[in-house]
Amino acid sequence: VLTVSEETERGVVERRFDLEVGGERVPGIHWLPEEPAAAHPTVLIGHGGTQHKRVPNVLGLGRMIVRHCGFGAVALDAPGHGERMTDEEREAQRALIAGRTAGPDGAPRLAASDPERRRRMAGAAAQAVTEWKALLDSLQLDDRWGNGPFGYWGVSMGTAFGLPLLASEPRIKAGVLGLGALREEDPRGRQLAESIRQPILFIFQWDDELMTREAGLALWDALGSEEKTMHINPGPHVGVPRFELEASVAFFKRHLSN
């Protein structure tokens, strides 16, 4: 792990770093309390599709976790996102978003059932899981946060990648997922959900234009976790109320505090 820069703003240290995974550079951010406890928990934050490691909701959540819990938080640019896009890809994404039917809030409708897109997403998910595991390996080398416990937060694409991550990663002790659904044509999704054991907070939007209510409820229902809570709010895909970030922070505080 190579530190690129480090700045401190109102009690929160923000360290830009690069992680090397299989020869590829994965840019990330580690938010830390300015005066951290000797050993403290860390929450991994997976951003949504078309987003990156420092979009406002990720940055806001990272800072809240540091300020309200005294934990650390880490975000990575997902494969093909943020600094990991060529100018060509960025242009193609803009065109893709502009060309899709907009939802009620102007957000793009991404056809999740498009087979070509699903194949690409599965490849990206496998790559993202490898990178999160490499990040955990690297975090474990430092006594200040190496003993965890670790949490994971990610909705939408962050849940598409979070499901295989939580299912295969016992180092992660609690997860916030959401804006995801169980599609009948995807039996692997059900298997993954059923194999998850960590406590889960699942956030869902009742008027999500990308999935049905039934498919969202079915994903939460399929989770194998003994403790799992679903929070439903009215509104479209890009419309999760800010108080759900506060609920996420309270959830991690309850499950990860040493």
CA distance linking residue 189 with residue 137, whole number of Å: 26
CB of 249 to a second copy, least distance (A): 10
Return the structure tokens found at 18.
Answer: 């690069």
Structure token pair of residue 19 = 């992680």
| 173 touches a second copy (CB under 8 A) | no
Q: Minimum Å distance from CB 8 to a second copy?
A: 29
Give 57 or 233: the residue with its C-beta nearer to a second copy.
233
228 binds a second copy (CB under 8 A): yes
221 touches a second copy by CB under 8 A: yes
Q: Contacting a second copy (CB under 8 A), which of 84, 118, 233, 236?
A: 233
CA dihedral 149, 153, 154, 159 (to 10 degrees): 50
Q: Choose between 78 and 200: whose C-beta lies nearer to a second copy.
A: 200
Q: Does 137 bind a second copy (CB under 8 A)?
A: no
CB of 76 to a second copy, least distance (A): 29
Report d(CA 69, CA 14) in Å as an integer: 16
User: How far apart are alpha carbons 11 and 32 in whole angstroms?
Assistant: 9
Structure tokens at 31: 């938010």
**Given the rule CB under 8 A, which of 8-16, 92-100, 165-173, 239-247 is the region that contacts a second copy?**
239-247
Dihedral angle of Cα 12, 133, 147, 31, to the nearest 10 degrees:
0
**Nearer to a second copy (CB atom), residue 126 or residue 243:** 243
Q: Is the dihedral of CA 36, 38, 44, 50 positive or negative?
A: positive
Q: What proportions of the chain, in percent to the nearest 5, are helix, strand and coil?
A: 40, 25, 35
Region from 59-67, 105-113, 177-185, 220-228 binding a second copy, contact rule CB under 8 A: 220-228
Report CA 55 to chain centroid distance, whole Å. 12
Q: Using the rule CB under 8 A, is 220 a contact of a second copy?
A: yes
For a second copy, which is the closer residue by CB, 17 or 251?
A: 251
Interface residues with a second copy (CB under 8 A) are 206, 220-221, 227-234, 241, 243, 246-247, 250, 254
